[in-house]
Amino acid sequence: QVQLVESGGGLVQAGGSLILSCAASGRTFSSYTMGWFRQVPGKEREFVAAITWSGASKNYADSVKGRFTISRDNAKNTVWLQMNSLKPEDTAVYYCAAGTKWSFLRYEYSYWGQGTQVTVSS
C-alpha cells in the first residue's frame, strides 16, 4: 500500500517554472514505477512522465519532452516533476501515481494522489 500526496502547484506566467513534489508513505516506495499524469475538465487523464524504481529510465510525453524533468529520491520517498518553459496548455490538475509496471498507461498505476492544480497564464 502506498499513499501519495502532491504539492507545489500554483499560478505561474507562461515561460515560468514550477516544481511539483509527491511524497509517498510506505516502505515499498522504492519498488514502484512512479508517474505523473494531468487532467483538464472534460478530457481524459493523460500521461506526462514516468521513472523506473531505480531512476535509471525515464519516459516523457512528446508535449513536455525537453521542458519537464522527472526525478526521485528513494531515501526520501519523494518524486519530483520539474516543469520549465511552461505554456498555457500545461494548465491542468497534476497527479502523482505509483505502479508495478513500466508503463505510460494510467490503468497500469494502482495508487494515486489527490492532485495539485497548475495554472499557466498567458
Each residue's pLDDT tens digit, 38-71:
999 999 999 999 999 999 999 999 999 999 999 9
Residue for grid cell 516502505: 27
Confidence of residue 28 (pLDDT cuts 50, 70, 90): confident
Tens of pLDDT, residue by residue over 96-114, are 999 999 999 999 999 999 9
Residue 27 has pLDDT above 80, yes or no: no
Q: Would you state the pLDDT for residue 97?
A: 97
Does the pLDDT at position 26 exceed 90? no
Beta carbons of 20 and 5 less than 8 angstroms apart: no
Specify burial of residue 45 (Cβ count, 10 A radius: 0-12, 13-18, 19+). middle
Nearest to 95 by CA among 55, 44, 26: 44
